[in-house]
Structure 1
Amino acid sequence: MDYVYARVKEDIFDFRLLPGDRFTESQIAERLQVSRTPVREALYRLEREGYVFVHFRNGWSVRPFDFALFESLYELRLVLELASVRKICDSADLSRIEVLKNTWLVAESERVMDSLAAAELDERFHITIVDVADNPEIARVHNDVIERIRIIRRLDFTQGYRIERTYEEHGQILQAMLRHRADQACMLLKSHIEESKAEVRKITIHRLQAARQS
């Protein structure tokens, strides 16, 4: 089931299955050369996560993009991360974020430019900030938000210049936090997230249009 789940989710993330596309369990099972049981289990898991929905006796479809929902999730993400940054900056011990320097405060020749790897590093940066703030409930909600916006966030790293910008912005945020400059760190983080949000919205619309025309 995990294999089928990963493959179908990848198809959705990479726009091989487009928002609104309809399909059946049999079609997925035939394409992946598996039985319908793991396909059904995988699809119900994806339904719980909000990626697909089932039509009674009439197959499945990919859930259409809801940009208003993504806007709300980005707003929630920003609130959670800003609160975490302020708490960290008020702390005397910053050793747990010091390790982030090994990834983000490096020479240009040491930067990771692969889009998927860069997306994973970016996600880890933001998750680490929240985890270091030591509020399990905020971390739980934040992880849920990150999972729900991952489908479009990863598109931010399909352009090389966006990876470079992420390194620069993460470095600036990290340096401000290490100096206990909460207001500056929050200002930089807010700008970083809002810029990323605008970029992924633009790229998502472009990718959807291109996929539908191909």
Structure 2
Amino acid sequence: MATNTKRKESMADRVYEALKDDIFEFRLIPGDKFSEGDVGTRLHASRTPVREALYRLQREGYVEVLFRSGWQVKPFDFRQVEELYDLRITLERAAMHKICALDEEPQAIRTLIAIWNPDHPSERAVGSTVRALDESFHCDLVAAAGNREMTRIHREITDRLRIVRRLDFTREDRVDATYVEHAAILDALRTNLASDAADRLTQHIRASQKAVREITMERIREAAEAHRRVATEAGVR
């Protein structure tokens, strides 16, 4: 019995990861509809793990169930994204002031300086590693302020924005800008310039926000056009 349960959970995890990857890579685009049977057939999975994976994605806000008509990739809500960015900026600005008011410089600041001020450009991270480091940069700064509730709420916002924020590192110019801007924020913190650090952080987040919106719209348009081409070719055949 335990072995069967473990196998079922493992399949549910695999279906979850596959569907989430499809959503993140725009193979499934906002508004796409599908059934549990479609997913099961494509991923060679039975209904139970498919349903478990879909409910998990629903809880995380990626899909929604449609009454008597299957599932749908949740339509992109740009207003909600803007509001989450606003809240994120408020929390991170407050963290800058709290850090500068501390009696001692947190170890996290020294660690972040070592990461974002490499001795040579060749030491910079690439690809998914940059995305992970960028997320850690912002989360670690808020955590360094020492307010546990602020840290918890900020992590929740980070989780909800991950689907768009990861796109910020698909362009080399944005990777370069991130290194420069992170270094400037840390320099302001190290010299105890709270307002300067907060302003630099705000400019950095707003630039990223603008870039990911543009890239998201571009990727959705490209994916929708690819979907139309496939549908047209299938109709011709």
Q: TM-score range by the shorter chain?
A: over 0.9
Partner of 1:2: 13
- In the aligned structure 1, how far is the partner of 2:195 from the partner of 2:95? 12
CA root-mean-square deviation:
1.0
Partner of 1:153: 165
Task: Give the counterpart of 1:193 among 179, 202, 205.
Answer: 205
SS in structure 2 of the partner of residue 65 of structure 1: coil
Partner of 2:183: 171
**Given the two structures, how large is their TM-score scaled by the length of structure 1?**
0.97
- In the aligned structure 1, how far is the partner of 2:15 from the partner of 2:96? 38
> How far 1:159 sits from its partner (Å)?
0.2
Answering whether residue 125 of structure 2 is matched by residue 112 of structure 1, we say yes
Contact 1:113–1:160, Cα closer than 8 Å, also in 2 = no
SS in structure 2 of the partner of residue 154 of structure 1: helix
- In the aligned structure 2, how far is the partner of 1:138 from the partner of 1:105? 27
Q: Which has the larger radius of gyration?
A: 2
Partner of 1:133: 145
> How far 1:27 sits from its partner (Å)?
1.3
Partner of 1:142: 154
Query: After TM superposition, what 4+ stretches of structure 1 lie above 2 angstroms from structure 2?
Result: none
> How far 1:36 sits from its partner (Å)?
1.3
Partner of 1:55: 66
Partner of 1:34: 45
> How far 1:20 sits from its partner (Å)?
0.2
SS in structure 2 of the partner of residue 99 of structure 1: helix
- In the aligned structure 1, how far is the partner of 2:202 from the partner of 2:182? 12
Partner of 1:97: 109
**How many residue pairs end up in the alignment?**
213
> How far 1:57 sits from its partner (Å)?
2.5
SS in structure 2 of the partner of residue 20 of structure 1: coil
> How far 1:152 sits from its partner (Å)?
0.6
Task: Give the counterpart of 1:24 among 35, 52, 60.
Answer: 35
Partner of 2:4: none
> How far 1:166 sits from its partner (Å)?
0.2
- In the aligned structure 1, how far is the partner of 2:108 from the partner of 2:28? 40
> How far 1:22 sits from its partner (Å)?
0.4
> How far 1:123 sits from its partner (Å)?
0.3
- In the aligned structure 2, how far is the partner of 1:3 from the partner of 1:128? 30
Answering whether residue 57 of structure 2 is matched by residue 46 of structure 1, we say yes
Partner of 2:87: 76
- In the aligned structure 2, how far is the partner of 1:18 from the partner of 1:12? 6
> How far 1:110 sits from its partner (Å)?
0.6
Contact 2:108–2:141, Cα closer than 8 Å, also in 1 = no
Percent identity for Structure 1 against Structure 2: 47
- Cα deviation, 1:48-69, whole Å, max 9, x if unaligned, reads 1111110123110001001000
SS in structure 1 of the partner of residue 219 of structure 2: helix
- In the aligned structure 2, how far is the partner of 1:27 from the partner of 1:93? 57
Structure showing greater relative contact order (alpha-carbon pairs closer than 8 Å, 6 or more residues apart): 1
What stretches of structure 2 of length at least 5 have no aligned partner? Answer: 1-11, 227-237
Partner of 1:181: 193
> How far 1:133 sits from its partner (Å)?
1.1
- Cα deviation, 1:108-139, whole Å, max 9, x if unaligned, reads 1111122x211111001000011111111111
